[in-house]
Amino acid sequence: MKNLKISFFIFALLFLLFSTFRQGLDMERHVDLSPTYVAANLLWSGQGETIYKNSAYGQTRSKAWVEFESQQMDGMATDTSFLYLPAYLLLISPLLLLGSFQAFKIVFLLLKIIGLSILLAQLADKWSRSYITGLLIIGLLSMTDAIFDSLQYGQNIEFLALLIPVYFYRVRKDHRGYSIGFFILAVLIKPWAAFLLAVPLIDRNLKLFLLLIVSLLLLLGIQILWLPGPMLDFWNQTVAHGEISILAYNNASLSALIHKISFAPNWMNHFHWEPAPENPSLISMIIRLFIGTLLFIYATSSRIGLHQRLAIMIIPPVLMGIFWNHYLLLYFPFLLYLNRRMGLRARTAIFWFLLLLALWPDVHSVKVFINSFLLRGIQLQTLGYILPFLHFMGPLILLATVLTFAVTDWRSRLLRSPRQILVLRSGRRPQIIGRTDNANS
């Protein structure tokens, strides 16, 4: 825990333990954790061919899954599918020694809380100007929908949130062994974390980029040799999942925003976790690829590291069809940076108002404000166009930030003369170029 204040960690740990277990140890809706438990048990019981036989969102149920749930989980149905790589089960397997799903769930939840406590303590230590401010940061972030949903559904996004900053640092320092190791771990935790392949390109580190591609191919190749059938099923599941559009409130992807606006206001009839019809997939793909390309171009052209990282990090909600709002946990460092950068200005109030709608919409007081004041009296037809932007508010703030960064960088480059640019690129100490005579002459 280098550079980590133990007091912040202890406070975050106690705060999360109290808020998580105050209603009892057994959380009711670990729908994202139970498929991992079922798949791991099926794999090690010799039924590895069945781990990807469940379709997404329970449309097709595998017989092996139903039998296992009936015998080992008191008939609790898992309406989602397992969409991680088979090798991810190797990381989870030691927890199977605990026996029951109840024990598995509690231990995994404790590991999540420890991971979140480390993350929150790091953020408080880095971005607070005083001890009280650090405690306030921990308390406020702990009450966000991102953390609440991650704990409630049994997600593993906090482990990715801990890995990504370290991965960025190792890539920047060209520590190739560490970079490859953290990249593989990130892909095991979330297969869509393969977008981190783009990070070495920021520094024009083509050799590391190729090494990461080779390591990814080796990871996939070993699993294909190990479980050829399930790996083919994994690919088919991934493709099928990518074609599904979910219009629930907690899908914070650009794809969902485009679908909702094109389908307004009828999209509200599909306001649940089920595949929705009338998806303008072709137009949506063109728009998302265009924005994603612009983000990548800016990331590789900017000279400011944090701007580069944010541009790369915002690519997933732009390109992915489903980007759950608990994934916004990945962007806490950037949001805290923006808060400090703004200072006490008029636009800070606007920023915090939008941030309130993005991170705390399910907090009772915020929900009352939204329903009783912000949206009061608005007709259903109009709500069909307003609500999609509220659901997309988190990525929208970040996209607007990247746009602001890009415009600022562009203006600063225009203000530089060609001679200034040559001096800066040469690596020599910049000098004031222009008039050198005395101001009074």
Cis peptide before 361 (omega within 30 of 0): no
Q: What pLDDT was estimated at residue 436?
A: 38
Q: What pLDDT was estimated at residue 437?
A: 39
- The mean pLDDT of 65-78, rounded to a whole number, is 76
Residue 422's pLDDT band (boundaries 50, 70, 90)?
low
The percentage of the chain sitting over the pLDDT mark of 70, rounded to a whole number, equals 88
Residue 273's pLDDT band (boundaries 50, 70, 90)?
confident
- CA gap 66, 267 in Å, rounded: 32
Q: Which residue has the higher pLDDT, 432 or 237?
A: 237
Residue 1's pLDDT band (boundaries 50, 70, 90)?
very low
- pLDDT winner (highest mean) among 129-133, 166-170, 336-340, 415-419: 166-170
Q: Is the pLDDT at 19 greater than 80, yes or no?
A: yes
- The mean pLDDT of 261-288, rounded to a whole number, is 88
- Say what the pTM is: 0.89
3-state DSSP assignment of residue 324:
strand
Question: Residue 384 carries which side chain, given as an amino acid letter?
Answer: G
The DSSP result for 287-311, as a single string, is HHHHHHHHHHHHHHH-S-HHHHHHH
